[in-house]
Amino acid sequence: EAQVTQNPRYLITVTGKKLTVTCSQNMNHEYMSWYRQDPGLGLRQIYYSMNVEVTDKGDVPEGYKVSRKEKRNFPLILESPSPNQTSLYFCASSLSITGVAFFGQGTRLTVV
Amino acid sequence: DQQVKQNSPSLSVQEGRISILNCDYTNSMFDYFLWYKKYPAEGPTFLISISSIKDKNEDGRFTVFLNKSAKHLSLHIVPSQPGDSAVYFCAATSSGIGNQFYFGTGTSLTVIP
């Protein structure tokens, strides 16, 4: 089954404790990206990747890092999480920039 | 600065009637537009898209209209069904501005049986 898998689904952490949210897709997609969804702000793109070893900043990259060492994986790293990064995060992948994007089920992160 | 705007946070429609969801954008470089539907506790799912070379795209009950001069697009759902109740996001992109996607804030559609 074609899917985008994010882990964990829920995470509560403390300020400053490094964390990684994993994202994996099994569709051989070139384009992957991370979004955060906040009330009243919709979905905002954090980082995206056009292909392996090619990543670029989206609209709200501050406080986040990503890597794309393999085509299928695109982890989101928060080196020093802060409470303003409490949000619902989605990973997505598509064959190309104009391809249909498949989203993961989301990761609800709370930073206290 | 929100480049893609959905000014109606919510919309209620009777089952069987038409639902019209609206989206405005500010960047004339956008050349590809998409609509996604999102149910609670799930990720968004793709619904329909349109390229800027077209002004209409239809897929079953869903039609997207694009008015480039007004920088406006709309999603029509006819007839509306209770299962259409969800949050709808419009999104825009252009390879000319770095392959980023910009989403609106979403419109919550409720279809009343």
A5-34 pLDDT tens trace:
999 999 999 999 999 999 999 999 999 999
Over range B57-61, report the average pLDDT: 97
**pLDDT digit string, tens, across residues A88-105:** 999 999 988 777 889 999
Over range B28-52, report the average pLDDT: 93
Residue B2 has pLDDT above 90, yes or no: no
* Closest A-chain CA to B103: A43
Q: What is the pLDDT of residue A1?
A: 85
Residue in A4, A59, A104 closest to B100 by CB: A59
Chain B nearest C-alpha distance from A71 (Å): 18
Q: Using the beta-carbon criterion (under 8 Å), do B106 and A42 form an inter-chain contact? A: yes
Over range B36-60, report the average pLDDT: 94
Cα B91 from Cα B23, distance rounded (Å)? 9
Over range B105-113, report the average pLDDT: 97
Q: Using the beta-carbon criterion (under 8 Å), do B6 and A42 form an inter-chain contact? A: yes
Over range A73-91, report the average pLDDT: 97
Share of chain A above pLDDT 90, in %: 88
Q: What is the pLDDT of residue B41?
A: 87
Over range A57-67, report the average pLDDT: 95
* Confidence band of A40 (pLDDT split at 50, 70, 90): confident
Q: Which residues contact B21 (CB under 8 A, 6 or more apart)?
A: B6, B8, B11, B35, B74, B75, B77, B88, B90, B107, B109
Average pLDDT, chain B: 94
DSSP label at A27? S
If one compares B82 and A101, the residue with the highest pLDDT of the two is B82
Angle among Cα B24, B29, B33 to the nearest 5 degrees reads 50
Cα A59 from Cα B101, distance rounded (Å)? 9
Share of chain B above pLDDT 70, in %: 97
Cα A11 from Cα A5, distance rounded (Å)? 15
* Closest B-chain CA to A42: B105
C-beta atoms surrounding B51 within 10 Å: 11
Locate A48 and state its tokens: 């995206």
Average pLDDT, chain A: 94
Q: What is the pLDDT of residue B97?
A: 67
Distance from the Cα of residue A16 to its chain's centroid: 19
